[in-house]
Amino acid sequence: MITRNFQSSAPLQLESGEVLEDYTVAYTTYGNLNADGSNVIWAVHALTGDAQVADWWKGLVGENALYNFSSHFIICANLLGSGYGSSNALSENPATGTPYYYSFPTLSTRDLAQSLEMLRQHLKLEQIHTLIGGSLGGQVALEWAYSLGERLQHAIIIASTAKTSPWVIGFNEAQRMAIAADSSWGQEHQDAGKKGLEAARAIAMLSYRNPSDINTKQQEKEEKIDGFLAASYLRYQGSKLAKRFQAFSYWTLTKAMDSHDIGRGRGGVEMALKSIQAQVFAVGVNSDLLFLAEEARFLSQAVPSGSYGEIVSTAGHDAFLIEFTQLTSLIEDFYRS
């Protein structure tokens, strides 16, 4: 495993009209590039993920996994705006010499894809065998697949969509409202909005899981009127995230998720999807209440070369990070088809 930083010397023109004059993208690679450069597997992480894909996608990426270090050159970059090495709101604004804080530019999934393209060009990778991502990572991967053209062979888009639905935007806005309700939000320090982030994560967990999953796993074993397991579970999840993530990045990346629309400025979703040259494998989760399985199925039918697979799980949206055995089997079948 090798971790490096790509420091761009060229500004990034953003969809918002703003410009990121210089920026850093942290990335991790595993394995070695083969002689003809045909073994590149590029993973894109989800909302609060990082570049260490072998850690959070164990079972799919690893020594003995489908994407193993002896056969593949695996790369994963920390998305712009995130807090794990890439430029974000706590990075220094070169114009002021102080952190951006609330002046960090608005990013779209198209901007995030463009920053990955700049990294690809920097690394002189002429082709990508497989581009794979789930949730926000799937959205960014789909945007990038559109612009990569014939440089990309396979795009695996998991628990994701071609355009963010009002349902998802509503969940994200509720989470940002929780952050903004924190009295420290608006202050210029790295822990601003931390308690609000805890509440935001609790809201998010209700969308990441399926009711049946929570009802089963948080079922009370005794009668009580307070101190319920479900409440403790959500408070724990909120506290856990706030210890490793920051509210600024959460705000930036949920906004990026809201922006996602593969068809914006391209004649609409269906026309844009028809332009993707790679073989697309869209994977839905039968119990996903956030990014519905029917949205993944639509994606598979709208591209010129697409197929659909479905994870069957009670875990809801998070199944794409849990059901490794199913996911491996589905992807293997896709490659054989």
Tokens of 185: 């939000």
Question: What pLDDT, on a 0 to 100 scale, did the predictor assign at position 23?
Answer: 97
Closest CA to 308 of 319, 292, 321, 325: 292
Distance between CA atoms of residues 177 and 199, nearest Å: 10
Residues forming beta bridges with residue 131, ordered by sequence position = 42, 155
Distance between CA atoms of residues 33 and 40, nearest Å: 7
* Domain 168-256 bears CATH identifier 3.10.180.10: no
Neighbouring residues of 4: CB distance < 8 A, sequence distance ≥ 6? 26, 27, 28, 29
Neighbouring residues of 267: CB distance < 8 A, sequence distance ≥ 6? none
Helix (H, G, I), strand (E, B) or coil at 315: coil
What residue ranges of the chain are covered by domains with CATH 1.10.1740.110?
168-256
Locus of tokens 């003809």: 36
Question: What pLDDT, on a 0 to 100 scale, did the predictor assign at position 138?
Answer: 98
Helix (H, G, I), strand (E, B) or coil at 191: coil
- Strand ranges of the sheet holding 279-285, from the earlier edge strand across to the other edge: 2-7, 24-30, 73-77, 40-44, 128-134, 152-158, 279-285, 306-311
What residue ranges of the chain are covered by domains with CATH 3.40.50.1820?
2-164+261-336
Distance between CA atoms of residues 156 and 130, nearest Å: 7
Class of the CATH domain delimited by 2-164+261-336: alpha beta
From first to last of its 337 residues, what are the pLDDT tens digits of the chain?
999 999 998 999 999 999 999 999 999 999 999 999 999 999 999 999 999 999 999 999 999 999 999 999 999 999 999 999 999 999 999 999 999 999 999 999 999 999 999 999 999 999 999 999 999 999 999 999 999 999 999 999 999 999 999 999 999 999 999 999 999 999 999 999 999 999 999 999 999 999 999 999 999 999 999 999 999 999 999 999 999 999 999 999 999 999 999 999 999 999 999 999 999 999 999 999 999 999 999 999 999 999 999 999 999 999 999 999 999 999 999 999 9
Residues forming beta bridges with residue 133, ordered by sequence position = 44, 157
Distance between CA atoms of residues 228 and 142, nearest Å: 40
Question: What pLDDT, on a 0 to 100 scale, did the predictor assign at position 97?
Answer: 96
The residues annotated as belonging to the active site are: 135, 288, 317
